Chain A
Amino acid sequence: MIAEAGHYALTLALFIAIVQATVPLIGAHKNDSFWMSFAQPAAILQFLLVAFAFGCLTIAFVTSDFSLAVVVHNSHTAKPLIFKISGVWGNHEGSMLLWVLILSLFGALVALFGNNLPPGLRSRALAVQAMIAVGFYLFMLLTSNPFERIIPPPANGQDLNPLLQDFGLAIHPPMLYLGYVGFSMAFSFAIAALIEGRVDAAWARWVRPWTLLAWCFLSGGIALGSWWAYYELGWGGFWFWDPVENASFIPWLSGTALLHSSIVVEKRDALKGWTIFLAIVTFSLSLLGTFLVRSGVLTSVHSFATDPSRGVFILALLVIVTGGSLALFAWRGPGLKSDVLFQPISREGGLLFNNLVMTTAAATVLLGTLYPLMLEAMGGGKVSVGAPFFNATFVPLMVPMLIAMAAGPMLTWKRSDLKPVLNRLWIAFIAAIVLVLVVWQIQGGAVFGLIGTGIATWLFVGTMVQLGERIHLFRVPLGDSLRRLGRTPRAAWGMTLAHAGLAITIAGITGAGVWKVESIQSLMPGQSVSLSGFDFKFQGVKQIQGPNYQATRATFTVTQDGKAVVTLHPEKRLYVVQNQPTTEAAIHSTIWGDLYAVIGDPEGTKGAYVTRLYFNPLVVWMWIGVMMMMLGAAMSLSDRRYRIGAPKRTRQRIEGAAATSLK
């Protein structure tokens, strides 16, 4: 019964979306406020219906309703509750339901909090948002209905893929989707602006918060996926340039470009057409990411579906959305031309440079990701494009941008001079040189390591210098500086945090990527191995019983100079229902590096086991850096200029304005 209710709600949502996609659009065209007024209630109703359907599916999972096909294929009564819930989106059908849930959530947010938007723009944006929704409802109802029954219902389910039974992966898809789908807002606003034929600073101010929000979640989603790969797959690595990872990274790159170009639209009323184009491209790349992962053209742990009709449907959707919006752009875009020209050395010049590099990098990663598919489609043989390709292309492209990134925020708008800026950055330059020399002394001359160290230091110190400049540190009394610090707008804090966070992330990537120490050997109980100054002593294994698995649990005691550091318990689990083994790495994180232990198969009959031990330097820095970037986006999002004009504050703003005028 619950399943039918959910199915019915989903069908209703489709029809609401069809109304929302057409009526307000016509209303906006005719400037008819009654027709336009359909948009908000429709968006809210759509969200409520999808939320209801999502709730129904969740109940089905929690109560283990095995009359539903998805539940049978992805759940089991013995599974812990949290993984019953995450099982809702741990499969193709449910994850698409999550996709439309988030899509309709964003629509409802615009409907609820967009009172300061011009009615025409809001109606059009909501109508475009609904068009995307129609595509996805149809996709779900026609090819991947989560509420499909199975007759007769089996006694128990087939359980969720054990690799997916994990806390990090339980929250990874929702985060990632909030990012992917968040870019749909920028897309809808871009299309609405194209239809309207008007892009101005106000438009950028409405779009930027959505972009910030999407970017923040996408960063978090990517980092969570990387974290999961790091501790769950047991290879000691955190990023494999796997096509599915790239699928989320490409929109992140173009989304980062969008984030920066919208600043130029807001402040200088320039780069309008380019920003619209980026908004279209970023969402298209998000759809492409969904297509690559969902269609099964890529083989990976993430691809649930290999049903070709689904792939064709998403491909068609992708072609319609991308093709349609780019055609609209080609038709209306030239009208958006702004006649502002930049000085190459200026803040906007720096932002444009960021955009050029980010889009080039996105194109390069896209090419590497799609190349094997293209080659195979043309009958050119099977290839794999892996980490060596991306390290040789993506990394060098990033270097000039990261170097420029320390100077860019210190340039002034319109017209600037590089010399005084570089003069102020001497301290960053010296810091970078000193640290490179220190690292060279300690770790030796791994070129990538030295470059990474130098760039991370330069960027971090440079960003701090920029903050110091802003508050006139050491140029005015300290009290004045602190007062300036207090008055620094949150958007500026956001930039500082995000840029510094990137510097720390780069340091972490450099450490873990270049100075990883690995040792593979078979150990008898009582034997030890020495690694980066730590002694790992293998104490033997024990068999233990988990809720839905059996495990071989090993014990390593780790000591440094005879002093106990930590005891590690890596496991090798066998999930009974799917008869699938998994490796659970044991990780001890410290600020300077992670101790990482993995246990393999027994060797011989005397109790020896194959073991793999790592020392991964600075891994924690990556997670800290990404959190700083996300916090930076959140800070920026809370900036005053996005809050004034928020619906309930309209009156206060007028009062505030009156108060200032009285002063």
Chain B
Amino acid sequence: MKRKYKRLTFVLIALLLLGASAALVLSAFEDSIVFFHSPSDIVAKKVALDKRLRLGGLVEKGSVVKKKDAVVNFRITDTANTVAVTYKGILPDLFREGQGVVTEGRMVGNVFKAEEVLAKHDEEYMPPEVADALKKAGQWKGSKQK
């Protein structure tokens, strides 16, 4: 093989890899990026509700109802609006009423069916997304963030 072609082979392989990864990234971005929304966004139907999404806010006080077979129902609020959530599984250790929480899942009718519930690992910690959602709703006091 001539020198030129040898070099060309590697350049082609490199381009092929970059092209493949770019294609993979783009197609994955389409399907697998999850947007964060507040209860107000969802109530206002500002979002595509058929997609997987993250919903965050405060767990409304007095809303947690434990059903049979490890199913839990609760409501997430940004104090302006509220969305009902259902989840089957063990809630994270730091899940508490009145505390910040982020859930990931889909809207099924008017209920958010969560597949994952994330409460952060610190008592006073407020997920930044939740803090922002609260700020938007005009309810942020800003005292608790570490």
Contact = CB atoms under 8 A, between A and B. Distances in A.
Interface of A: 161, 163, 234, 299, 301, 306, 341-344, 349, 352-353, 356-357, 360-361, 363-364, 367-368, 371, 381-386, 388-389, 392-393, 396-397, 520-522, 572, 578-583, 598, 600-601, 603-604, 610, 612
Nearest to A572: B93
A363 B28 contact: no
20 contacts: A299-B127, A343-B6, A344-B10, A352-B10, A381-B36, A384-B36, A384-B104, A388-B31, A388-B32, A389-B33, A392-B24, A392-B32, A393-B21, A521-B69, A521-B70, A522-B69, A572-B93, A578-B123, A582-B93, A600-B70
B129 A520 contact: no
A352 B17 CA distance: 13
Contact of A161 (B1, B35, B121): B121
Given A364-B24, A521-B69, A383 B90 contact: no
Interface in B16-66: 17-18, 20-21, 24-25, 27-29, 31-36, 54, 66
A583 B88 contact: no
Contacts of B120: 299, 301
Contacts of B93: 572, 580-583
User: Sorted from nearest, which 10 A-B pairs have the closest CB atoms?
Assistant: A388-B32, A600-B90, A382-B36, A392-B28, A581-B93, A393-B24, A344-B9, A389-B32, A610-B70, A301-B121
Among A382, A389, A582: residue with most chain B CB under 10 A: A382
A592 to B, nearest CB: 25
A637 B76 CA distance: 55
Contacts of B24: 364, 392-393, 396-397
A342 B6 contact: yes
Interface residue SS majority, chain A: mixed
Contacts of B122: 161
Contacts of A367: 25
A521 B121 CA distance: 24
B49 to A, nearest CB: 16
Query: Size range of the interface on B?
Result: 35 or more
B108 interface: no
Contacts of A341: 3, 6-7
Contacts of A360: 17-18, 21
B69 A389 contact: no
A256 to B, nearest CB: 16
Contacts of B13: 344, 353, 356
A600 B25 contact: no
Nearest to A306: B146
A94 to B, nearest CB: 18
Contacts of A598: 90
B89 interface: yes
Contacts of A299: 120, 125, 127-128
A342 B10 contact: yes
B68 interface: yes
Nearest to B2: A341
Given A360-B18, A382-B35, A388-B32, 12 more contacts: A352-B10, A364-B21, A381-B35, A386-B32, A389-B33, A392-B31, A522-B69, A572-B93, A578-B123, A582-B93, A603-B68, A610-B90
B137 interface: no
Contacts of A357: 17
Nearest to B7: A341
Nearest to B28: A392
Nearest to A353: B13
B84 interface: no
B14 interface: yes
A388 B69 CA distance: 28
B8 to A, nearest CB: 10
B54 A384 contact: yes
Contacts of B125: 299
Interface string B77-109: 000000000001111011000000000100000
A321 B37 CA distance: 37
Contacts of B28: 388-389, 392-393
B89 A520 contact: yes
Contacts of A581: 93-94
Contacts of A580: 93-94, 121, 123
A382 B54 CA distance: 9
Given A522-B68, A580-B123, A386 B34 contact: yes
Contacts of A161: 121-122
B33 A383 contact: yes
Contacts of A352: 10
B90 A612 contact: yes
A551 to B, nearest CB: 12
Nearest to B20: A397
Contact of A385 (B1, B14, B33): B33
Contacts of B17: 356-357, 360, 397
B3 to A, nearest CB: 5
Contacts of B3: 341
Nearest to A301: B121
